[in-house]
Amino acid sequence: MLAGTLTAQAALDPNQLRSVTDQYLFSTSLNSFQTIRSQRPYGDQLDWSSDGCSNSPDNPFGFNLVKACYRHDFGYRNYKRQGRFTESNRLRIDNNFKSDMYTVCNGNWACNRFADVYYAAVRQFGG
C-alpha cells in the first residue's frame, strides 16, 4: 500500500501519512517519484499540485529540472499541510531538491550551475 500502486486506498492515519510522505520525498528515486506522482495516491490526503519551477524556467537550456521542482513542491506543500514545515525540515527538503537536480544533471557542469542557482533561490526565497 505504501508504494501507491493500488487504485483504492484506505485513509492513512497521521503517522502513516507522515511516513508515506517521507518515503516519497526522501527514499524514492526521482524517476519512481514521477511514476507515483502520475498515479496521485492518497489524493485526498496528499497535495500533488505543483507550479513547476515557479518563476524560473522548467527546462533551462534543455536541462529538465522540472521533475525536481515537482518533488520540491510536494515536500513544501505536504510538510505545511502536516504541520511539519520547520526551518530544519525546509533545509532537508531544499537539500533533497539540490540532490535531485544534480541527479538530473548527471555531472554536466552547466546544468549543475543552474541547479546551484535554483537551490540558492529556494534557500533565499522559498517557504
Rounded to 5°, angle at Cα 23 from 125 and 26:
45
Q: What residues are annotated to the active site?
A: 72
